[in-house]
Amino acid sequence: MTQDQQKLPRYSGIATFMRSPYQPSLENVDIGLIGVPFDGGVTNRTGTRHGPREVRNQSSLMRTVNQSTGVAPFDLCRVADIGDALPDNPFELIQSHNAIQRFYEDVVARGIMPISAGGDHSISLPILRALAKDGPVSLVHFDAHCDTGDDYLGSKFHHGSPFKIAVEEGLIDPTKTIQIGIRGSVTDKDIWKFSHDSGMRVIYMDEFYKLGTEGIIKEVHKLVGDTPAYITFDVDGLDPAFAIGTGTPEVGGFTTFEALQMIRGLSGLNVIGGDVVEVAPPFDPSGATALVGATMMFEILCVAAESLANRKKSGS
């Protein structure tokens, strides 16, 4: 059905991610596109539970070949929309994370690489728990916030802390973690102390334009090399002009062109999965943020499919 639906008018048919086939059975899938409609970890404006559906909707505008890199992910791998990772009890944060983790454990067990659309950024934690069973992975992290914060309003787990916990749980290697786009006012000068103390490479917007996207790409490759790498893209890394539909927009971010350049520059990494998070449709009257989210998800898919195809070719 895939090829069929992707050739039909883009406004037609049910909305799956990038009009890929809908395969909730998880069978015959190399790369699974997954929604995680959970926003129980949000500290301010909520609504990312509606993210996966709107990203699916706007992703109809995606086509099958990356014109810039030439990668054709649907030709390289069997890509399917495998549905949503759902919390059993969406009213309770920790139980929800556990349920999401179980979904991804099943996905990983079947040898499927997950590319996900959130949901708030706290969902990266249960995904990493499922993916990093064999030791900490590298992390390429686009965001306005380091998300390595402490407890907030009585909870250790929220969308501002997943990567601190991920380090503590041995899921990511902080010395192979790079955080790009950090900015915004803060409640505490040392709010991202954990990132610095643990050895993460933090690229604030103040440094961003000094390095340029090419410089940043070089740093990523130097840092990550060929270790297993997870890509996480919080749309609030982008300037609000490009992505207003998110919970904690921060003025002064990078552009979508720069984001495209950076994700394309990840080609060659040993990608094991990725996500695009924090698309909040209720704050996105024009739908532009969901479109941007869908585009970034497509670009991550291209890099991931290329990486997977290379691994298969090389028999690894």
Under rule CB under 8 A, which residues in 111-140 are in contact with its own copies?
none
Please list every residue from 198 through 257 that binds its own copies, using CB under 8 A: 204-206, 209, 239-242, 244-245, 248-249, 251-253, 255-257
Residue 134 parent element (H or E)? none
CA distance 186 to 283: 22
Residue 194 interacts with its own copies (CB under 8 A): yes or no: no
Q: Which of 242, 251, 246, 222 is nearest to 234 (CA)?
A: 246
Residue 302 exposed, middle or buried by CB count within 10 Å (0-12, 13-18, 19+): buried
CA distance 252 to 144: 9
Nearer Cβ to its own copies (86/309) = 86
Residue 19 interacts with its own copies (CB under 8 A): yes or no: no
Residue 84 interacts with its own copies (CB under 8 A): yes or no: yes
Nearer Cβ to its own copies (26/288) = 288
Q: Which of 250, 225, 219 is nearest to 235 (CA)?
A: 250
Nearer Cβ to its own copies (58/138) = 58
What is the 8-class DSSP label of residue 263? H
Residue 15 interacts with its own copies (CB under 8 A): yes or no: yes
In angstroms, give the least distance from the CB of 138 to its own copies. 25
Nearer Cβ to its own copies (53/221) = 53
In angstroms, give the least distance from the CB of 198 to its own copies. 19
Give the count of residues interacting with its own copies (CB under 8 A): 96
Nearer Cβ to its own copies (137/297) = 297
110 HSE (CA, 13 A, CB side): 18
